[in-house]
Amino acid sequence: MAKRRTIVTDYLARVEGEGAMTVKLDGDEVEHVELRIFEPPRFFEAFLRGRSYLEPPDITARICGICPVAYQTSSVNAIESLCGVEVPEPIRMLRRLLYAGEWIESHALHVYMLHAPDFLGYESAIELARDAPAAVERGLALKRVGNDVMTLVGGREIHPINVRVGGFYRVPTKRELRTLVEPLERAREAALETVRWTAGFDFHERTVECDLVALTEPDAYAIENGRIVSSAGLDLSPAEYEEHFEELHVERSNALQSQLRGGGRYLTGPLARYSLSFDKLSPLARAAAAKAGLGETCRDPFRSIVVRSVELVHACDESLRLIEAYEEPDAPSVPVEPVAGTGYGVSEAPRGLLYHRYRLDAEGTILEAKIVPPTSQNQLAIEDDLRDVVARNTRLDDDTLRGLCEQTIRNYDPCISCATHFLELDVERR
């Protein structure tokens, strides 16, 4: 007689924000897999209506404490493209540097604090810190350098305040940027060590078959802008995004889930970026990837931890290159006059493609805002992967299976909603 069981995790530990997972099994049959997401962008879309076209970088930066620069960048890209402004090269480079700082910070957090404990059999980073303090210290030090880049270029690390439509409020001097060189060189060494460390973990062999979608640029590993490219051959401008991707409202959550129009699953994030732009990684990052045993593409979600580590090397390398090449711009920003119409903006948040669309009137008042975060784009692919992982491991006991499910979800670094920070307490009553 087949035994029915339900595996529920009310709050997913070590996932950014709140989330919950339910898996229902009937014997070896997977009946139901569900990832619930509580998501703040819907609130922000409403909050933005009626505001000035200059406000989105400040407002959307508050959606996420981990990737504020991603939100700022996609928003300024959308508005500047509508208003016909292309920012000067030094400003573009500074934006890329700021964004690389966010990648370093976010990837270091995920690799060391959230994901590595899964592979090493620890409940959390705390137990890992007791047994391997040097590794955890290395992760915190890496993160710290990302913070420093964000603070210097962005004005503040949590919700950078220095980004504006048209550029920055203030740009750093060459001398100021040079103070980051030595810390970034150390961070690059730590990143290389991170690749070696994670490459030595034990991996479940997995392959995801869905389309991979990422931004690409002709001469760079796309970070702060680019064209939307897929492994199936799409090559789109940001304005064409919604012609090919659609959002479905899911009853069980506030979130909208994305799919290819017509129903195809797709995945954004490190695996997609790496697989579509391997040849654009810095030589050092490519060499580290090869030594770690990665090919030129990677469709194994468990190995995303190694890919993130390779991206850490690239982000440090790229930051050093940008600082070396930096020339102070004539002005910190260029004027941007409002234009009636719709603007589209994209960028590569640490966890994947982030799409913004804004409709403005001639005075620059926002009539409509649309934000599609990477996690809602990845949600269906995550659920598919989860279903398959469960189907292959039905013989595991509940606790082991739950752990494997949580790890499967963490493979995608979902940013479910890091907008609340209250502490949940179990108070003992007498």
Partner 1 sequence: MNGHTVVIGVGNALRGDDAAGVEVVERLNGRVPPGVVVAACDEEPSRLIEAWADADAVVLVDTVASGERAGTLHRFDAGETPIPARTLRSSTHAIGLAETIELARALGKLPARLVVYGIEGAAFESGASLTPAVEDAVGKLVDTILGDLERETCTSAR
Residue 397 interacts with partner 1 (CB under 8 A): yes or no:
no
**Nearest residue (CB) to partner 1, 1 versus 134:** 134
Residue 13 interacts with partner 1 (CB under 8 A): yes or no:
yes
Question: In the set 8, 126, 325, 367, which binds partner 1 (CB under 8 A)?
Answer: 126
Instruction: State how beta strands 415-417 and 16-17 pair.
Output: parallel
- Give me the residue label for tokens 């392959």: 207
Mark the segment that binds partner 1 (CB under 8 A) among 210-218, 288-296, 359-367, 417-425: 417-425
Question: In the set 120, 158, 161, 339, which binds partner 1 (CB under 8 A)?
Answer: 158
Mark the segment that binds partner 1 (CB under 8 A) among 120-128, 209-217, 225-233, 321-329: 120-128
- Per-residue contact string for residues 20-49; x = within reach of partner 1 by CB under 8 A: --------------------x--xx--x--
Residue 175 interacts with partner 1 (CB under 8 A): yes or no:
no
Torsion sign over Cα 7, 9, 15, 18 = positive
Distance CA 304, CA 307 (A): 5
For the CB of residue 13, give the shortest distance to partner 1 in the complex, in Å. 5
> If we measure between CA atoms, which residue out of 381, 380, 388 comes closest to residue 404?
388
Torsion sign over Cα 253, 259, 263, 265 = negative
Distance CA 77, CA 417 (A): 23
**Nearest residue (CB) to partner 1, 40 versus 338:** 40
Mark the segment that binds partner 1 (CB under 8 A) among 3-11, 172-180, 289-297, 344-352: 3-11
Residue 114 interacts with partner 1 (CB under 8 A): yes or no:
yes
Mark the segment that binds partner 1 (CB under 8 A) among 93-101, 233-241, 263-271, 412-420: 412-420
Residue 133 interacts with partner 1 (CB under 8 A): yes or no:
yes
> If we measure between CA atoms, which residue out of 71, 15, 12 comes closest to residue 23?
12
Distance CA 196, CA 291 (A): 8
Residue 160 interacts with partner 1 (CB under 8 A): yes or no:
no
DSSP string, 183-216: HHHHHHHHHHHHHHHHHTS--------SEEEEEE
With CB under 8 A, what is the number of residues at the site for partner 1?
46
Residue 421 interacts with partner 1 (CB under 8 A): yes or no:
yes
CA angle 359, 363, 369 (to 5 degrees): 20
With a CB cutoff of 8 Å and minimum separation 6, the contacts of 339 are 82, 83, 84, 360, 362
Residue 16 interacts with partner 1 (CB under 8 A): yes or no:
yes
Distance CA 55, CA 336 (A): 13
Can you list the alpha helix ranges (DSSP code H) found in 263-330?
270-277, 283-291, 304-325
For the CB of residue 270, give the shortest distance to partner 1 in the complex, in Å. 17
Residue 11 interacts with partner 1 (CB under 8 A): yes or no:
yes
Residue 125 interacts with partner 1 (CB under 8 A): yes or no:
yes
> If we measure between CA atoms, which residue out of 317, 266, 268 comes closest to residue 289?
317
Residue 17 interacts with partner 1 (CB under 8 A): yes or no:
yes
Question: In the set 4, 6, 8, 10, which binds partner 1 (CB under 8 A)?
Answer: 10
Residue 414 interacts with partner 1 (CB under 8 A): yes or no:
no
188-224 burial, b for 16+ CB within 10 Å, e for fewer?
bebbbbbbebbbeeeebebebebbbbbbbeeebbbbb
Question: In the set 86, 123, 337, 398, which binds partner 1 (CB under 8 A)?
Answer: 123
Torsion sign over Cα 72, 77, 79, 80 = positive
- Give me the residue label for tokens 């017509």: 262
For the CB of residue 139, give the shortest distance to partner 1 in the complex, in Å. 8
Residue 371 interacts with partner 1 (CB under 8 A): yes or no:
no
**Nearest residue (CB) to partner 1, 14 versus 92:** 14
Residue 161 interacts with partner 1 (CB under 8 A): yes or no:
no
Question: In the set 26, 34, 65, 161, which binds partner 1 (CB under 8 A)?
Answer: 65
For the CB of residue 131, give the shortest distance to partner 1 in the complex, in Å. 9
Residue 124 interacts with partner 1 (CB under 8 A): yes or no:
yes
Question: In the set 58, 102, 157, 385, which binds partner 1 (CB under 8 A)?
Answer: 157
State the Cα torsion 375-166-168-416 to the nearest 10°.
-10
Q: How many CB atoms lie under 10 A from the CB of residue 128?
A: 20
Contact 34, 21 (CB under 8 A): yes
Residue 423 interacts with partner 1 (CB under 8 A): yes or no:
yes
Residue 113 interacts with partner 1 (CB under 8 A): yes or no:
yes
Residue numbers at the binding site for partner 1 (CB under 8 A): 9-11, 13-18, 40, 43-44, 47, 62, 65-66, 109, 113-114, 123-127, 129-130, 133, 136-137, 140, 143-144, 147, 157-158, 418-428
